[in-house]
Chains A and B, each alone.
Chain A
Amino acid sequence: MAKIDVLLNECIERIRRGETAAQCLASYPDNAAELEPLLKTVFSLNSISELKARPEFRAYAKAQVLATVRDKAKGRAAKRFSSLRWTWAAIAVSVVAMVSAGGGTVLASAHAIPGDPLYSVKRTVERAQLAVTPSDVGKAKLLANFADRRVQEIGTMVQEGKMDRVDRTSVSMAKDLEQIGNTIGSGRSASAKEDKNPIMSAATSSTSAAAAVPAPATDATTAFGSEGQGQPALTAPRVTTMTSSHPLASSTVTKEQKVAASASDKSDNSHKNDEVKNAQNADEVRQALLKQAERQKQYLQGLLEKASPKDKAAIQRAIDKLTAGYDQATKED
């Protein structure tokens, strides 16, 4: 074994115990010249210790893992699922239960945007939906829906002047679109062609129920309870419509449309893209995506035209990522 291997490792252990690089180098003067640049890299590597998962995910995953433990102890559940994705099926079932019981948190999260307290709930629900969707076409349709939501979130952030997370949301949108390409397009891997882990019928039916989750709360007090009852004072949910007055259906937003969009609305408020929703196979999904892409580009172009100079760059980047993402999503084999 080369001596430098041993000395380097010794220094790594000493640095781990809190010593400085200088102290290590002083111990090995004959090898200091060779060791010094390596120890600089060791300190760079130590920056990895700052990597952490999201606190909410950490807590949520713990609850799910401990639920496994309990179920196993009772001799149930874990063996019912043939896939390691059972945890997400459980989440989807929980979402359905929460919706059925009138739970407001999931509903209220439907129109959260990056930075809102419930945004992580929204994204968690999306991942659960994806995990329990067995078919590639189903996944592609879900991902198209998620990309649509990202565009809506960008629109809301622009309208509310919250530009700091537009770029991140654009990246998420691009990833969703890229993943469509990986499921039904030329980018898909062999294993993505079919889901080899059939999901229980309960989870499958929960998918369609969970897909309806994004219908927004129509009444802030219903979602959060009225203040004074010990409920946290959260931001009221944004109630937007997907009717013909919705910004996504039109490239211009009149004042009347904005007012209508912000008012409570008991009509169909789900963020459904009917063309994508009705697609039956990969080709139909691609055709629907082309129309969705055009509509979203027009919407973002409308925002770009009205934006202040300082906001234009971020919106243009969103348009560029949207264009590239849809090119990838609609590329055939």
Chain B
Amino acid sequence: MQNEEHIVRRAQDGDEEAFSMLYEEHFDKVFRYMALRVKDRSEAEDMAQQVFVKSFEALSSFKWKGAPFGAWLFSIARNLVIDRGRKAGKQPMTSIDDVVILSNENLENMVETKMEMEKVVEAAKRLTPSQREVVALRFGAEMSIAETAKIMGKNEGAIKALQHSAISALRRLLVQGNNG
């Protein structure tokens, strides 16, 4: 993407093309984050849309202080999930049957990918909230350690430790799942 700061400033000036570029750049990641955090596909899509509505409405309040726009966007996303409260946290997450896989691979690979995703999404349900959050941000939203730390309000060392514990826990759950 072009210099994001420049695009954000254009968007803040009301440039619709700039808004469009920000949407295209970030939508997939926002959706993936929501898919790992909320109940089902419909809710993930709804929530993803709300993230952009909220962020674009509040764009004038965003101050470019070196932190990337994505980190601010996912702070909004995270707060929306928190606002949803217990319903978002404890409800089953995205039903894999609702998920679209866009792939140019052949059918067999698509089925394998879907099965792999299903196992991961199921296992992720059983992580602690903080572990699930770090997984959603690092692997769903593809945030860097620095961005994840800023969003979660922790230092980078703490995020790396949390990431390690999440992946270890996920591995144990996946192995248990494979052993039946």
Spell out A's residues near B (CB within 8 Å).
Answer: 1-2, 4-6, 8-9, 12, 16, 37-38, 40-42, 44-55, 57-58, 61-62, 64-66, 68-70, 72-73, 78, 84, 87, 127, 168, 171, 175, 189, 191
Contacts and interface: CB of A to CB of B under 8 A. Distances in A.
B49 A87 contact: yes
A47 B32 CA distance: 11
Given A9-B163, A52-B101, A70-B16, 16 more contacts: A1-B157, A1-B161, A8-B160, A9-B160, A16-B142, A38-B164, A41-B167, A44-B116, A45-B167, A48-B32, A49-B32, A50-B103, A61-B45, A66-B20, A66-B23, A87-B53
B50 interface: yes
B57 interface: yes
B97 interface: yes
Contacts of A191: 87
Given A38-B171, A45-B170, A65-B19, A6 B117 contact: no
Given A4-B164, A52-B31, A62-B20, A68 B53 contact: yes
Contacts of B27: 53, 58, 61-62
Contacts of B16: 66, 69-70
A61 B145 CA distance: 29
| Interface size grouping (class) on chain B | 35 or more
Given A53-B27, A61-B45, A47 B120 contact: yes
B93 to A, nearest CB: 11
B163 A69 contact: no
Nearest to B14: A73
A8 B167 contact: yes
A5 B32 contact: no
Contacts of B97: 168, 171
Nearest to B101: A50
Interface in B100-125: 100-103, 113, 116-117, 119-121
Given A2-B164, A44-B116, A69 B44 contact: no
Given A45-B120, A54-B45, A127-B42, A69 B56 contact: yes
B36 A37 contact: no
B10 interface: no
Nearest to B18: A69
Contact of A53 (B31, B117, B160): B31
A41 B172 CA distance: 10
A16 B143 CA distance: 11
18 contacts: A2-B164, A38-B167, A40-B171, A41-B167, A41-B170, A46-B139, A48-B36, A50-B102, A51-B35, A51-B117, A52-B28, A57-B45, A62-B20, A64-B49, A72-B57, A84-B53, A127-B42, A191-B87
Interface in B131-180: 135, 138-140, 142, 145, 157, 160-161, 163-164, 167-168, 170-171, 174
Given A50-B117, A168-B97, A189-B87, A68 B42 contact: no
B67 interface: no
Contact of A47 (B102, B113, B135): B113
B117 A84 contact: no
A228 B18 CA distance: 39
Nearest to B85: A191
A191 B145 CA distance: 35
B116 A53 contact: no
A152 B82 CA distance: 38
Contacts of A45: 120, 135, 139, 167, 170
Contact of B99 (A42, A51, A65): A51
A5 to B, nearest CB: 4
Between A37, A40, A52, the greatest number of chain B beta carbons within 10 A of the residue's beta carbon is seen for A52
> Considering the complex of A and B, which 8 residue pairs feature the smallest CB-CB distances, nearest first?
A5-B160, A61-B49, A41-B171, A1-B157, A53-B31, A45-B139, A47-B116, A5-B164
A86 B135 CA distance: 31
Nearest to B83: A84
B73 interface: no
Nearest to A41: B171
B52 interface: yes
Contacts of B49: 61, 64-65, 87
A61 B52 contact: yes
